[in-house]
Chain A
Amino acid sequence: MTGAEELRALTRKLLDAYPPATTDRTDFLRARFDAGLAWVHYPAGLGGLDAPRALQAVVDAELAAAGAPDNDPRKIGIGLGMAAPTVLAHGSDEVKRRFLRPLWVGEEVWCQLFSEPGAGSDLAALATRAVRGDAGDWIVDGQKVWTSSAHTARWAILIARTDPDAPKHRGITYFVCDMTDPGVEVRPLRQITGEAEFNEVFLTGVRIPDAHRLGDIGDGWRVAQTTLMNERVSIGGSRIPREGGMIGKVAATWRERPELRTHDLHRRLLDHWVDAEVARLAGERLRQQLVAGRPGPEGSAMKLAFARLNQAISGLEVELLGDEGLLYGEWEMRRPELVDFTGRDAGYRYLRSKGNSIEGGTSEVLLNIVAERVLGLPPEPRNDKDVAWKDLAR
């Protein structure tokens, strides 16, 4: 086990050998990875030192103080948050050595080929087929959707159906897909905001070597749980100030523009202000539970609460703006590199926040999860679990 002092010493050694001011960014990040200071809880040789995850903060603080470059985690979130833990848990030694370093450094961007037009909330019903080729490799055909970063990605994590005769959860296999394969076609998916954060990905005769399979054939659903569980890990980092987020925008407009005020809007603004302040306190309480080592199920409440709040507040803001609410910034089709929920005008916020109750699990599915896993209510009767995938209605 590596302690805080040892990590500090290793970090200073890295900084001495590669002074950030005179070292190329990529060279520095590679050296940091090789020193085991990329993600200290990862194994030695794969960017880590088998140290407690909490000690990453020690390294990050030292590096930030020295002005060292970081790997811009916002731009490689899917690689860091979803692909890496899955590769680590289920990849061969060779796969781990090949993929993790360029993933962490940001030299290779990753995307996630999970959702399909016919498999959203019911992801396990996915229809993209992977068939064994003569050379022992896999040939993939199908269509994926809502793929962030597909147009910049070098690699993708992919789940595909390998056994249509098995029940849906048991006939899926997990792969690493090469996005430069000639059978991969990426098209922007334009949203109601006018821009395209996401893509559709068409897979036609895409070849994947068997060495790029993660986990056993037919075990892809279980492997995918590693990916999806890590999607929700990064909550509860820092404290949010009062009027942080969307309520701050509309409160500022209210204060600056008395001519827009009406009694009806005043009551609704105060309703939302109270709800936003309570959501802030609930987030703070969750953070304190995590710090105290007593995480509760409250985390699943936060996404639901914020989806509803963002939609209500941005809707009120458009209404408050009156004549200006009739206008929209611009409808030009763009492909933003990062998603910005609060930075743009009220109309954009209103439209973008509609996705908050759909992306990453619809609010309806999350309510089912709360009802069944937190409250212990009985599940709906199901008729899809023991039926061969090919016999399901679609």
Chain B
Amino acid sequence: MTDVTESAEPTEPTLDLLYSETEEDLRAAVRALLADRAGHQAVLGLIETDSPYVPGLWKPLAADIGAAGLLVPEKLGGQGASHREAAVVLEELGRAVTPLPYLTSSVVATETLLAPAGESEAAAGLLAELAGGRTVAVLAVPLSTAPGAELPLTGPVAGVADAAIADVLLVPRADGLYAVPAAEATVEPQTPLDLTRPLARVTTGAGSGTRLAGPEATGPAVRRGLLAGAGLLASEQLGLAEWCLEETVRYTRERHQFNRPVGSFQALKHRMAQLWLDLVGARAAARAAADSLATGSADAPLIVAVAQAYCSKVAVRAAEECVQLHGGIGMTWEHSAHLALKRAKSDQIALGSTGRHQDAIAALVGLEPPV
């Protein structure tokens, strides 16, 4: 064979935008587990109880499949995989709208600890616990915090996701990053729009907990954690949007009105076809974000912002179309479309709104606003 050279080769690094066989195997394992243990009906049965988390689901996913340690090198107690694999796990969790602290603990908190773990034994020890799925930790910042945003450094913090199930809270303070055992903190549940991702107001005593990183290292560590979170949230949004489209197609093929399947009306099928087009883009964007994080590309902050700005919009549109094209049944509590809608709308705000990400893009590519 031959090596084909092309002229005017783009300067951007080449991203691997496909799925590997290993990634597809991982997907199959996670999908089978969720189908078995955490179907939408099971989730619907739990969301109004004290805890929406499916009992006994975290260990098989986090520890047995090993999903909690994907971002962590083997020598630090993890699987030595990458953001590409974690993204596939999140696609599946997005499809199923599963209440689990994967994004918060296994991505954001874990990524936040990766750099401090090289300097601090306490951080390394906690990281190994997270990677093994034995401990759940969440970063004590509002879920809406964008990568690079100002952090709350004192006082109670509202809107902390999955704090209710966390064993440890990672608290950024003016003098460094602290690990505070949940037992030493006050965690007051709030009523979230998305019942599958509980929010709480977290108060920790000044000086409580163990310091994991100094003041200089804290900002970069948290920014890194939030960047990975934002980039991989795109995969959760992709999975959620895929489920919405598949379910809508399935339903409109079966549902008959006017003596024909409603999915045969162009007014409906064009909307579903348009969603499919949006998903083609969302898949490319989410894969690009995961791959650029996995390779530590200098382009990662830009591609993550692009993926967030795009996939947030697609997930919300897919969920809104899912409700509308289901008609009356889509408006009921018993149908699971609202799980997807509430998750999609919350995800749009999580880890930075579209406007925040667009501002980041404008700064990174030199498209400055009017003076």
Contact = CB atoms under 8 A, between A and B. Distances in A.
Contacts of A364: 266, 270
Contacts, number: 150
B18 A376 contact: no
B11 interface: yes
B362 A284 contact: no
A240 to B, nearest CB: 7
Contact of A275 (B5, B260, B310, B362): B310
Contacts of A262: 370
Chain B interface mostly:
helix
Contact of A270 (B10, B280, B358): B358
Interface stretch (A144-152, A194-202, A367-375): A367-375
B125 interface: no
A242 B288 CA distance: 13
Nearest to B260: A381
A371 B367 contact: no
A284 B276 contact: no
Contacts of A367: 269-270, 273-274
A371 B266 CA distance: 9
Given A239-B9, A241-B11, A282-B284, A375 B309 contact: no
Contacts of A371: 269-270, 272-273
A61 interface: yes
Contacts of A269: 367
B310 to A, nearest CB: 5
Interface stretch (A28-36, A131-139, A298-306): A298-306
B18 A261 contact: no
A265 to B, nearest CB: 8
Contacts of B264: 377-381
Contact of B266 (A267, A301, A380): A380
Interface in B104-154: none
Interface in A244-287: 244, 251, 254-255, 258, 261-263, 266-267, 269-271, 273-275, 277-279, 281-282, 284-285
B5 A278 contact: no
Contact of B310 (A258, A267, A278, A301): A278
Interface in B231-286: 245, 249, 252-253, 260-261, 263-266, 269-270, 272-274, 276-277, 280-285
Contacts of A304: 277
Contacts of A380: 264-266
Contact of A274 (B2, B273, B309): B309
Contacts of B12: 241-242
Contact of B281 (A4, A282, A370): A282
Interface string B1-22: 1101110111110111110000
Contacts of A267: 358
B269 A368 contact: yes
B273 A370 contact: yes
A375 B4 CA distance: 35
A282 B306 contact: no
Contact of A278 (B18, B274, B281): B281
A292 B18 contact: yes
Nearest to B282: A278
A57 interface: yes
A278 B285 contact: yes
A271 B361 CA distance: 10
A93 B25 CA distance: 51
Chain A interface mostly:
helix
B15 A274 contact: no
Q: Using C-beta atoms within 8 Å of the partner chain, give the interface range for chain B.
A: 35 or more
A379 B268 CA distance: 12
Contacts of B298: none
B207 interface: no
Interface string A342-373: 00000000000000000000001001101110
Given A375-B272, A379-B264, A288 B288 contact: no
B269 A377 contact: yes
B212 to A, nearest CB: 36
Interface string A71-90: 00000000000000000000
B366 interface: yes
Nearest to B17: A285
Contacts of A255: 366-367
A284 B6 CA distance: 14
Nearest to A284: B17
Contact of A266 (B14, B266, B370): B370
Nearest to A282: B284
A180 interface: no
A277 B10 contact: no
A185 B212 CA distance: 83
Given A261-B369, A274-B358, A375 B276 contact: yes
Given A282-B284, A381-B264, A258 B273 contact: no
Contacts of B367: 251, 254-255, 266, 269-270, 273
Interface in B324-359: 358
A225 interface: no
Give the interface centre of A254, A274, A379 by most chain B CB atoms within 10 Å.
A274
Given A273-B367, A282-B280, A375-B245, 12 more contacts: A4-B2, A61-B2, A242-B12, A271-B358, A273-B365, A274-B358, A277-B306, A284-B284, A305-B281, A370-B276, A374-B276, A375-B269
7 smallest CB-CB distances across A and B, nearest first, come from: A241-B10, A371-B269, A261-B370, A285-B17, A281-B284, A370-B273, A282-B284
Interface of A: 4, 55, 57-58, 61, 238-242, 244, 251, 254-255, 258, 261-263, 266-267, 269-271, 273-275, 277-279, 281-282, 284-285, 288-289, 292, 294, 298, 301, 304-305, 364, 367-368, 370-372, 374-381
